[in-house]
Structure formats: structure tokens, C-alpha cells
Amino acid sequence: MNNFKPEAGNYLKPLCGSYSPEDCLFLLKPVSANYKSVEDKERLIQQGTLHYSQMIHRESEPSDIYTELFYSMLSTYKSRLAEQVMRLALEITQRRTGPVTLVSLARAGTPFGVLLYRALTRHFDRESTHYSISIIRDRGIDAVALDYLLSKGHLPESFVFIDGWTAKGVITEELKKSVVAYNVANSVNISSELFVISDIGGTADVAATYDDYAIPSALMNSTVSGLVSRSILNEQIGRNDFHGCVVYDHLREHDLSGWFVDQVSAELSLDRIAPLLSVPRQERREITTNFLNTIMSEMRVSDLNRVKPGIAEATRVMLRRVPDLLIVQQSGHPDIAHLERLAVEKSIQVIERADMPFGACALIRDVLETGSNNE
């Protein structure tokens, strides 16, 4: 039963980014950007001066060569990705009755929320709506966004949280903790289950694969996620506001968000659904945890936040953080071509490690230890 009684008039209107409103509504508040350089942002984070969600850097357009790598990866993997989207869609239909409220975690989950919306409505004949909302490590899920969904009549039992991938499980844990607290505070029963495409760490509730491969959207930032930045939570966000974002209008001519989901949507079919996972989730989790412990010991890293396993997370480090080292399972493999190119561009050492249980792992530089001469 939905016992939620919303206060009237507190909510901002959703925004669409570059998606159609049928495909996705972002429950985010556009804010003014006070851009920091990647290096300054990293230093402020590691000093503890500011939380990562309080600041953002200005995204640049991807290079022609990097964009060609994205096109190549999409051509290679769009059919596989479509089969995995269909697997998740099937799992959702088996776990939810009635209309489905897809709640993707902005922004890595956003394209997959769009794809699942299309799969459910076009191929499984299930009524569905898709919203993308913010969740922030150490800050939790956007409770105002959840308030909004309930105020619009979406039943708590209809919610399905979506992300693109998970590795160490930090966001999985944040989601579960936040939703439990929200349920208690509002006398509702929203499921904290997390559905993801790739779960290399064995931490999500439902996944289509444990494989670490180059999910094409992981290669890009806002230009494949509706031109919306990652979420922001700073002094511009009031008590009754959604978490914030920047809309990168300067990248509109480079936007591939709609094109990407159209390409994968064309491959969706009830005749091609990825098989159920055969390896127990706990086994995959233990493999990942053991390797992370080994890496931290060998590399003398004390802060787990500096270790980012998986191709997707390594890509984020190379694009948005200050990388220190790139570890790859197999040098020259097509899935990591973009990472090796970025490593060359940024003069980052690459080491090969065949025993690694994922395709790549990046270490974030300890900028406090190395000082300012680290560019």
C-alpha cells in the first residue's frame, strides 16, 4: 500500500536532456556550473575539502579517433548488448506485476533505462515509464525524486532500479541503505533490488552478465547520456529540490544519445535473449574481492576508492579523474583499445596482468603524496 502523502507544490519539473520525454525524464535540477579542472577537483576530493558531488569539470567533445572507437565497439557489441537488455526486461516482467516504473541511476544507468523502457513496451507489452534520478556515494539517493514519483501515483512495488554496471558494489550498498531509510521514514515498501547489464563484482541483485567487456556507452560521457552531467549536490540544491546537473548544450552537435539507443533498439528481439547466469553471484564477488585485496597490497594502496576495476570504471578514471596506472588483462585486445590510447595521450603506465578477473583496472593517483607536479 502507498501511504505516502506528498506536500503540494514542492517539485520542479522533470527535464528531458536530449531524449524524447517518452524515453526518459530526468528528475534533476539544472544548476550553474563553476567548473574545476580535473587536477584541482582530484586534489580537493583527496584533501577532503569538497565532496566529489559538489563540483564538476567541463566536458570536451570526444576526439574523432575516440569517436571512431565508440562506433567500432557499438558495431561489435550492439547485438550482444540487445540480448542482455532483453534478459533484464524478461527478469523484470517475472518479478513485477502491473505497470513498471523504471528508475535509472543517472547517468551510467540512463541509456539502459531507455532501452529497457523500449523493450518492455514494444516487445513484452508491459506498461512502463522511465525516470532517471541521482544517487551519490556517501550522500544517498535523491529522496525528493522518490517523493515526486510517489506523488505522481507510481506504486512503490512498481519501482525497478537500473544501472549500467557495477563492480565493487559501492552504489549497490548506497542504494540499499538509502531505500531502507526512505521506506522507514515514509511507511512505504520500495524494493531496493538493483538490475544491471554487467556485474563484474557480483554485487547487483539481477544482472545479465558477469563479463567485463567494452559496453559502448561506457566509452562516452554526456554525449551518450542525454547531454546531462553526472549529478551535483552543492549549495545550489535546496531542501525541496532534485539533485542538480549541468546540461552540456555546447556538445549538442556531438550528441549520440538518441542514435545509440536507436541502434541497440533495432537489435531487440524476443528470439534473442541472453541466457541465465550459471555462476553463483557469491562466487563472482569472492573472485573480485580477492583480486582487489591483492592489488591494494601489491601496489601499497590504502584507499579502496582509488582502485577502479572493470573496463567501464577504468574508462571513467581515464576521462574524468587523475589516473596513476592502468592494468590490463591482455594488451592489444580490442575492448581496451580506447584505454590504451588514452594512456598514451596522458603518459600513463600500462602493465599487463593475465590473472586479472576483468579486462582492465585503473588506479587513481594520490595527488597529495605526489604533489602538484603530476600532470
Between residues 40 and 295, which one has the greater pLDDT?
295
Handedness of CA 236, 176, 105, 219 (dihedral sign): positive
Q: Which helix (H) or strand (E) holds 89?
A: helix 64-95
Preceding omega of 239 cis (within 30 degrees of 0): no
pTM of this structure? 0.91
Residue 358 sits at the vertex; the CA angle it makes with 95 and 260, to the nearest 5 degrees, is: 60
Query: Could you report the per-residue pLDDT of 47-59, keeping only the tens digit for each?
Result: 888 877 788 888 9
Query: To the nearest whole number, what is the mean pLDDT of the chain?
Result: 91
Most distant CA atoms of the chain, gap in Å: 58
Domain spans, the chain = 25-265, 281-370
The runs of H, that is alpha helices, within 216-364 are 257-265, 281-298, 311-320, 337-345
Confidence of residue 375 (pLDDT cuts 50, 70, 90): very low
Residue among 301, 338, 324 at smallest CA distance from 374: 324
Q: What is the pLDDT of residue 33?
A: 84
Beta strands in 29-156 (DSSP E): 29-30, 100-105, 128-133, 135-136, 140-141
Arithmetic mean of pLDDT, 68-97? 96
Query: Could you report the per-residue pLDDT of 196-237, keeping only the tens digit for each?
Result: 999 999 999 999 999 999 999 998 999 999 999 999 999 999
Q: What is the pLDDT of residue 11?
A: 53
Considering the domain 25-265, what is its CATH architecture? 3-Layer(aba) Sandwich (3.40)
Query: What amino acid occupies position 39?
Result: E
Sheet containing 360-364: which strands, arranged edge to edge?
A: 307-309, 360-364, 323-328, 349-352
pLDDT at 374 > cutoff 70: no
Confidence of residue 372 (pLDDT cuts 50, 70, 90): very low
> Which of 87-91, 134-138, 324-328 shows the lowest per-residue confidence on average (mean pLDDT)?
134-138
Query: Could you report the per-residue pLDDT of 141-184, keeping only the tens digit for each?
Result: 999 999 999 999 999 999 999 999 999 999 999 999 999 999 99
Cα gap 208→54, rounded to integer Å = 33
Arithmetic mean of pLDDT, 255-272? 98
Beta strands in 167-279 (DSSP E): 194-199, 206-209, 244-245
Cα gap 194→354, rounded to integer Å = 30
Q: What is the DSSP string of 121-141?
A: HHHS---EEEEEE-EETTTEE
Q: Domain spanning 281-370 has what CATH number?
A: 3.30.1330.30
Query: Could you report the per-residue pLDDT of 322-355, keeping only the tens digit for each?
Result: 999 999 999 999 999 999 999 999 999 999 999 9
Q: Is 219 in contact with 65 (CB distance < 8 Å)?
A: no
